Amino acid sequence: MKARSTAQATTAIWLGLVIGALLMLFPIYWIAATAVRPRTEIFDAVISLVPAHVTWENFIYLWRRQPLLAWMTNSLFIAIVGVFITVFANLLCGYTFAKFKFPGRNILFFAILGALMIPIQVILVPEFLITAWLGLLNTPWGVILPRAAEAFGIFMVRQFMVSIPDELLEAARLDGAGEFHIFTRIVLPLSRPIIAVLVIFTFMWRWNDFAWPLVVLTDHEQYTLPLGLNLLRGEVNPEWGQVMALALIGLAPMLIIFLLFQRYLVQGIASTGLK
């Protein structure tokens, strides 16, 4: 009787997970289905879940009439370079707060956490003035450098690295290892889960960022995919098939990054609370 109840509970859990997965995947399916529908079918009175005709005209239009390649290149450059810079800066800062004692450490750390409570709209104008003064307007670096380090990422790294035994680092110092050697050869290999979490989150933030690139970038050739998507959507009579096609293109890299690093995601997030 007990085994039967356990089997029924397991079946119910799996059924709930499958239903939840289908509900989560349905918007992605609908984007893809709309992207390959002909324009005439999109505006039919009754729209079926499965396209009656499949066409690639929306993708062809984007390729021929819009600077799609430039938008993709700009987004990839900003996201990839931004991930390298931001993740490395967060790891260094988090390691410093976790393993070094210096005057004002706690005050500085709480000040960084306080930055999480500041809305982006408050710092948008000062950031723009500094970026303009540096001559970085309408360039990818003007999008990347102002967000070179994130308070949330520093917090997560610090919480994770607190769990790394101090005895391991002291043993390396006694063997004559330098601080940079300890960081690169000991700390980073042990920090793979949190690095994966940072890569996923940072890539997602960089790839989907809209407000700051909209302020910095003025030339359509310098736009990222989110800005290009807004440009299409903001037309008087937007072609929703083309909008969905561009949305599908913008979604693909995020899915790839998540699939590559997803096995570390839960482990990295759970480890941030360990002491």
Q: Is residue 155 within 8 Å of residue 112, measured between CB atoms? A: yes
Q: What are the tokens at 138?
A: 């309408």
Find, among 209, 227, 263, 221, the residue nearest to 79 by Cα: 209
Backbone angles phi, psi at 55, to 5 degrees: -135, 150
Q: Is residue 232 within 8 Å of residue 238, measured between CB atoms? A: yes
Q: What is the pTM of this model?
A: 0.83
The pLDDT value recorded for residue 179 is 83
The pLDDT value recorded for residue 275 is 42
The pLDDT value recorded for residue 274 is 44
- The CA distance from 101 to 179, in Å, is 14
- The CA distance from 114 to 126, in Å, is 18
Q: Is residue 60 within 8 Å of residue 234, measured between CB atoms? A: no
For each of the chain's 275 residues, which pLDDT tens digit applies? 556 667 777 888 888 888 988 898 888 888 888 888 887 776 665 677 777 778 888 888 888 888 888 999 999 999 999 999 999 999 999 998 888 888 888 888 888 888 888 887 788 888 889 999 988 899 999 999 988 888 888 888 888 888 888 888 888 888 887 888 888 888 888 888 888 888 888 998 899 888 899 999 988 888 999 998 888 876 656 778 888 888 888 888 888 887 777 776 666 555 554 44
